């Protein structure tokens, strides 16, 4: 954020003099230092800002509230229009310009010529220090602390056991997703939709950290994962949080602390929804009186619950209140959370009771070697011969399984059975070796007498060749060239593939505004009439015409970004016979503005506001027979 003084320092002398005159009236000749000092004192007056803020209409006050809570991200004009009532959409830009001219806010101009509205650092505390509002003591709150860590360990176990696979479209396979959906049931007490949100969050974390890799269609656990769980597993929860702050707040920890601070002062979920909407302004902000469900939460607020930073009070599926968790309060106060020891009980009936607060390494190993029977803060596992052997067959060493036996402190009968099952696996084994077949007997004999070569092989096979050490294969190939031998290169049918354009990455992604420079021209961004006139000279303007779907997309996007009006001839015929809902009954011709566009899947929908009635409807694009930019009325 920018201080008012820094903004004034960037102004030209005429612009600074104009602001000084606006504040104090014409005063003749003054030196530049005095003009800057007096102008800064006037425009940084807190009482002046408070008077302005409290005198605003509710929707205008909300715009200022959102701009200041967006902090370093800022908000674009079209995003702020989604926060204003539909019938006030056209007034938003004029209000923002007036507020900017009086230095209550400012705006940055990006390289692409768009504008981002931000608040001044001088007034941030005035917005943040809202009246405290504590939660009703009778409310029951639902938290998720440590469940995310457990589900991450469980997803790693699914990958280890070969249950996670990709499909050909860049997403996790439907059956693999079903494994997760059936396992991650604890979130259903808030909403069944929370499971998909959690899966996307975990997959994005694992893939960006290279903790899983793709070979063919399989998702496999990497060595980096084992190393982290072995040496740094105690800080996994903190690692996830730090990564999330980097992704959602671009590493701005102070911004994140301000969000938590605001939630701590006010348990209102409406307030929290508005604050976190500034990071996900992709939908129209509901009215204050509207019920709030998981589906209407901004993505970052939903993720805060999954991370265990906030707790929700839920009533019949509606989220009615929010508060910080104890972990969030400890994190805010920078106090170290106590490290809990292993909370494991192994019973003679081959059941284990393990807290989700246990070491992630223990949780991961348990999910690999035993059957998970529930999804609650205290997990119940059943150790069976099949589950234990299936886990061992993924390649755990004897040393690791012996460590696991020590962690769970199993009774004698359970320990004896586990050791017996382990013997079935470890007492015999198949292994793959790398053979160098040498058909030239003279060279084979020469290599047998070459000490440097024999150090790179495990065994010589008389009359055939050598069992080589795989790590020395490149050196052996170089050596064979001296004997005039160049065998074919090895093939790897399932090479490691980088993750690209995965569906979970697309769903996790949120837009962040571009950086820019402070603007003091205070000119309107766009004029609907000017846009209409300009488009009238192109193929998109003038008379009614029928558009190909790609061109229709372009016109609607342009009209939405410029707040221009459109006119359309409507066809009530529904092209897709399988579509369940027909187009809304409308006149043959309509005039409208575009609110939202939904082009991610068929049927393509435009949410529009009819003029002059102001009625908001969803319009299937296939019902638009012809279209043109609206003519001036």
Average pLDDT for residues 87-114, to the nearest whole number?
A: 91
Predicted TM-score (pTM) of this structure = 0.78
Q: Are residues 160 and 300 in the same domain?
A: yes
**Strands 434-437, 465-468: pairing kind:** antiparallel
Q: What is the pLDDT of residues 136-163, one digit of tens each?
A: 778 899 999 899 999 999 999 999 999 9
Token pair for 431:
């292994």
Radius of gyration, CA atoms only, the chain: 32
Q: What is the pLDDT of residues 324-343, one digit of tens each?
A: 999 999 999 886 666 555 68
Average pLDDT for residues 310-322, to the nearest whole number?
A: 93
- Would you say residue 598 lies in a domain? yes
User: Quick one: pLDDT at residue 135?
Assistant: 65
Q: Are residues 590 and 625 in the same domain?
A: yes
Q: Are residues 112 and 205 in the same domain?
A: no
User: Quick one: pLDDT at residue 579?
Assistant: 46
| β-sheet with 465-468: strand ranges across | 434-437, 465-468, 457-461
Q: Are residues 166 and 311 in the same domain?
A: yes
Q: What is the pLDDT of residues 13-31, one digit of tens each?
A: 888 988 989 888 877 767 8
Higher-confidence position of 276 and 539: 276
Q: Which of 332, 364, 383 is the last residue of a domain?
A: 332
Query: How many whole angstroms separate alpha carbon 302 and alpha carbon 322?
Result: 11
User: Quick one: pLDDT at residue 38?
Assistant: 92
User: Quick one: pLDDT at residue 92?
Assistant: 93
**Strands 310-315, 75-76: pairing kind:** unpaired
Q: What is the pLDDT of residues 470-485, one digit of tens each?
A: 889 889 888 888 887 7
- Would you say residue 499 lies in a domain? no
Q: Which of 446, 481, 516 is the last residue of a domain?
A: 481
Q: Are residues 217 and 299 in the same domain?
A: yes
Average pLDDT for residues 528-547, to the nearest whole number?
A: 58
Q: Are residues 366 and 415 in the same domain?
A: yes
- Would you say residue 339 lies in a domain? no
Maximum mean pLDDT: which of 375-384, 388-397, 439-448: 375-384
User: Quick one: pLDDT at residue 490?
Assistant: 59
Q: What is the pLDDT of residues 504-531, one digit of tens each?
A: 888 898 999 989 999 988 888 754 444 4
CATH number, domain containing residue 101: 1.10.10
Q: Are residues 251 and 168 in the same domain?
A: yes
- Asked which of 169-173, 239-243, 414-418, 591-595 is least confident by mean pLDDT, the reply is 169-173
Cβ partners under 8 Å of residue 586, min gap 6 = 570, 572, 617, 619, 623
- Would you say residue 175 lies in a domain? yes
Token pair for 509:
């992604």
- Would you say residue 445 lies in a domain? yes
Q: Are residues 14 and 55 in the same domain?
A: yes
Q: Are residues 165 and 305 in the same domain?
A: yes
For the chain, what is the domain count?
5
User: Quick one: pLDDT at residue 27?
Assistant: 76
DSSP-derived letter for residue 263 is H
Output the CA–CA distances (angstroms, integers) from residue 182 to 140, 187, 191, 192, in the order listed: 26, 11, 14, 11
Q: Are residues 161 and 277 in the same domain?
A: yes
User: Quick one: pLDDT at residue 494?
Assistant: 58
Which residue range forms the structural domain that includes residue 460?
Answer: 434-481
Q: Are residues 168 and 119 in the same domain?
A: no
- The beta strands (E) that lie in 408-523 are given as 434-437, 457-461, 465-468, 496-497, 516-518
- Would you say residue 474 lies in a domain? yes
pLDDT bin (cut points 50, 70, 90) of residue 227 is very high
Q: Are residues 419 and 438 in the same domain?
A: no
pLDDT bin (cut points 50, 70, 90) of residue 501 is low
- Would you say residue 614 lies in a domain? yes
Q: Taking 80 as the threshold, does the pLDDT of residue 287 lie above it?
A: no
Q: Taking 60 as the threshold, does the pLDDT of residue 53 lie above it?
A: yes
Average pLDDT, whole number, for the chain?
87
Q: How many residues does the chain have?
A: 633
């Amino acid at each position: 954020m920018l201080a008012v003084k820094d903004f004034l320092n960037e102004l030209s002398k005429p612009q600074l003099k104009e602001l000084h005159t606006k504040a104090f009236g014409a005063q003749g000749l003054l030196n530049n230092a005095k003009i800057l000092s007096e102008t800064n004192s006037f425009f940084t007056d807190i009482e002046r800002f408070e008077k302005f803020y409290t005198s605003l209409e509710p929707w205008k006050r909300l715009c200022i509230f959102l701009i200041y809570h967006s902090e370093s991200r800022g908000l674009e004009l079209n995003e702020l229009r989604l926060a204003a009532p539909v019938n006030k959409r056209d007034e938003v830009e004029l209000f923002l310009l007036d507020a900017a001219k009086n230095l209550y806010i400012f705006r940055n101009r990006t390289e692409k010529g768009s504008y981002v509205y931000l608040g001044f650092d001088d007034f941030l505390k005035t917005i943040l220090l809202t009246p405290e509002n504590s939660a009703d003591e009778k409310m029951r709150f639902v938290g998720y602390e440590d469940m995310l860590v457990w589900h991450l360990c469980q997803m790693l176990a699914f990958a280890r056991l070969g249950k996670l696979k990709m499909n050909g479209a860049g997403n996790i396979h439907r059956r693999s997703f079903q494994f997760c959906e059936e396992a991650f049931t604890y979130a259903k007490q808030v909403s069944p939709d929370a499971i998909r949100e959690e899966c996307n969050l975990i997959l994005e974390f694992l893939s960006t950290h290279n903790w899983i890799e793709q070979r063919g269609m399989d998702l496999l656990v990497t060595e980096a994962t084992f190393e982290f769980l072995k040496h740094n597993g105690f800080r996994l929860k903190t690692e996830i949080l730090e990564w999330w702050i980097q992704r959602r707040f671009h590493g701005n920890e102070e911004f994140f602390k301000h969000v938590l601070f605001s939630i701590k002062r006010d348990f209102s979920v409406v307030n929290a929804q508005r604050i976190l909407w500034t990071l996900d302004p992709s939908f129209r902000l509901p009215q204050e009186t509207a019920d709030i469900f998981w589906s209407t939460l901004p993505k970052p607020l939903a993720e805060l619950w999954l991370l265990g930073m906030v707790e929700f009070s839920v009533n019949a599926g509606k989220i009615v209140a929010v508060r910080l968790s104890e972990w969030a309060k400890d994190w805010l106060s920078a106090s170290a959370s106590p490290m809990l020891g292993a909370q494991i009980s192994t019973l003679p009936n081959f059941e284990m009771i393990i807290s989700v607060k246990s070491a992630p390494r223990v949780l991961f190993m348990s999910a690999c070697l035993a059957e998970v029977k529930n999804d609650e803060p205290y997990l119940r596992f059943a150790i069976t011969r099949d589950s234990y052997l299936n886990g061992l067959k993924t390649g755990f060493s004897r040393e690791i399984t012996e460590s696991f036996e020590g962690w769970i402190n199993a009774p004698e009968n359970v320990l004896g059975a586990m050791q017996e099952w382990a013997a079935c696996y470890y007492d015999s084994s198949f292994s793959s070796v790398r053979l160098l077949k040498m058909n030239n007997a003279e060279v084979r004999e020469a290599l047998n007498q070459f000490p440097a070569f024999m150090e790179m092989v495990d065994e010589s096979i008389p009359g055939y060749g050598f069992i080589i050490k795989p790590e020395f294969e490149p050196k052996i190939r170089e050596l064979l060239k001296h004997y005039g031998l160049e065998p074919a290169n090895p093939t790897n049918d399932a090479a490691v593939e980088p993750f690209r354009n995965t569906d979970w990455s697309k769903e996790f992604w949120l837009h962040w505004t571009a950086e820019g420079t402070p603007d003091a021209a205070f000119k309107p961004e766009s004029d609907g009439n000017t846009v209409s006139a300009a488009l009238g000279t192109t193929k998109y303007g003038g008379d009614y015409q029928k558009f190909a779907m790609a061109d229709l997309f372009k016109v609607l996007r342009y009209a939405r970004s410029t707040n221009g009006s459109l006119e359309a001839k409507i066809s009530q015929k529904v092209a897709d016979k399988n579509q369940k809902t027909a187009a809304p009954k409308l006149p043959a011709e309509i005039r409208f503005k575009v609110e939202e566009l939904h082009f991610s899947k068929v049927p393509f929908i435009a949410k529009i506001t009819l003029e002059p009635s102001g009625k908001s409807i969803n319009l299937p694009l296939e019902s638009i027979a012809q279209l043109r930019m609206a003519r001036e009325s």
